[in-house]
């Protein structure tokens, strides 16, 4: 059984990786937030401890999942953002090289500027904020320093349930749980959801096929998908279309809370996966329904 060391495994994506890979691989899953019994403590920003822990485990693969993903935090704490999202990635690449093993790095649709409706694997990134820049520099670090690598770019992450989902879906669900009958959603904010379990399964397929390089990896969607469409679909799945209004607003409505500059569109196209016939990402509507039925069934109207 081959071994995988997964750094930054305590979040919504890490949980999916643990569940998808645990039967076929020996895993060591670490995070600075030990929130599950299968996690052990490691803060990968401590480069010496990171190197020591990975090398003692002697893995066949190094998966580097963790990142600061809060755009406002990154804007307010740029040095920590670059330490966490860029410099730690450089260190991870060196560790993988020392062990002569491949490294997996998770990137994001947030590295693009939104001037196009949809971006394929070969489009040139142009990040608009500290978060996007730090993640893009992480991509470049892997490409420059790692001998063998797999980079997978995710879109709007969906998964983790109420305990680990810190993203958009859980924020909307919290509003609904609190009894809100009006949901204000930025119209024109384009993107495609990425279900954590589909993402982990597609990564597993690439690992088993011995694939290397950079891949866009989001759920199946189209060039018009946006926050408004996703939110309306969520309300429909809950069976609450007649009691909850989804109200479109412009970016200024949330400018005090979400002040980091955002692209108007960050939709990805899985062009390389499609060409190679390795795309097993399902339509986001199916994934969203599965997620809600499994993790928020108490909010579905009976």
The third-level CATH classification (topology) of the domain covering 161-189+223-266+283-299 is UDP-galactose 4-epimerase; domain 1 (3.90.25)
pLDDT at res. 59: 98
How many CB atoms sit inside 10 A of residue 72's CB? Answer: 14
Res 88 pLDDT > 90: yes
- What is the location of CATH 3.90.25.10 in the chain? 161-189+223-266+283-299
Task: Give, in order, the Cα–Cα distances in Å from 285 to each of 106, 241, 278.
Answer: 23, 16, 20
SS3 for 177-236 is: HCCCCEEEEECCCECCEEEHHHHHHHHHHHHHCCCCEEEECCCECCCCCEHHHHHHHHHH
Kindly indicate whether the domain formed by 3-159+193-216 is annotated with CATH number 3.40.50.10420: no
- Grade residue 222 by pLDDT with cuts at 50, 70 and 90: confident
| The pLDDT value given to residue 166 | 87
pLDDT for residue 104 is more than 90? yes
- Say which DSSP state 68 is in: -
Q: How do residues 130-161 score in pLDDT, each as one tens digit?
A: 999 999 999 999 999 999 999 999 999 999 99
- Consecutive H or E run containing 108: strand 103-108
Q: What is the mean pLDDT of residues 3-17?
A: 96
Average per-residue pLDDT in the chain?
Answer: 95
Residue-wise pLDDT tens digits, 279-298: 999 999 999 999 999 999 99
Domain with CATH 3.40.50.720 in the chain: 3-159+193-216
Residues 6+ apart with CB under 8 A from 226: 187, 188, 189, 190, 191
Separation between Cα atoms, residue 83 and residue 139, nearest integer Å: 14
Q: How confident is the model at residue 100 (pLDDT cuts 50, 70, 90)?
A: very high
Q: For residues 252-271, give the mean pLDDT.
A: 90
Residues in contact with 101: Cβ distance below 8 Å, sequence separation at least 6, in sequence order: 59, 60, 61, 62, 148
Quickly state the pLDDT bin for 223 (edges 50, 70, 90).
Answer: confident
Number of H helices, E strands in the chain: 12, 11
What per-residue confidence (pLDDT) applies to 107? 97
Measuring CA to CA, how many Å separate 142 from each of 3, 96, 138, 188, 272? 21, 10, 6, 32, 19
CB atoms within 10 A of CB 244: 20
Is 105 in contact with 89 (CB distance < 8 Å)? yes
pLDDT surpasses 90 at 49: yes
Spatial neighbors of 298 by CB under 8 A, at least 6 apart, are: none
């Amino acid at each position: 059984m081959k071994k995988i060391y997964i750094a930054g495994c305590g979040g919504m994506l890490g949980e999916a990786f643990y569940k998808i890979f645990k039967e076929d691989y020996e895993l060591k899953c670490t995070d600075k937030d030990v929130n599950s019994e299968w996690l052990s403590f490691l803060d990968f920003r401590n480069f010496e401890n990171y190197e020591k822990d990975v090398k003692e485990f002697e893995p066949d693969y190094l998966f580097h999942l963790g990142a600061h993903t809060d755009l406002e935090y990154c804007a307010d704490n740029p040095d920590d953002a670059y330490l966490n999202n860029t410099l730690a990635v450089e260190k991870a690449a060196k560790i993988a090289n020392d062990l002569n093993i491949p490294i997996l790095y998770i990137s994001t649709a947030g590295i693009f500027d939104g001037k196009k409706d949809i971006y394929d694997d070969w489009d040139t990134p142009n990040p608009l904020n500290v978060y996007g820049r730090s993640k893009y520099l992480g991509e470049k670090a892997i490409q420059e320093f790692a001998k063998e690598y797999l980079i997978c770019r995710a879109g709007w992450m969906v998964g983790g349930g109420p305990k680990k989902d810190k993203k958009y879906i859980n924020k909307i669900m919290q509003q609904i749980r609190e009894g809100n009958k009006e949901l204000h959603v930025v119209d024109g904010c384009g993107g495609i959801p990425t279900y954590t379990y589909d993402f982990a399964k597609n990564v597993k397929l690439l690992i088993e096929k011995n694939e290397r390089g950079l891949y866009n990896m989001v759920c199946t969607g189209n060039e018009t998908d946006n926050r408004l469409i996703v939110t309306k679909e969520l309300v429909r799945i809950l069976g609450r279309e007649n009691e909850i209004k989804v109200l479109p607003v412009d970016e200024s409505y949330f400018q005090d809370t979400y002040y980091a500059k955002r692209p108007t569109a960050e939709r990805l196209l899985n062009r390389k996966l499609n060409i190679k016939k390795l795309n097993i990402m399902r339509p986001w509507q199916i994934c969203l329904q599965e997620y809600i039925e499994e993790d928020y069934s108490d909010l579905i109207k009976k």
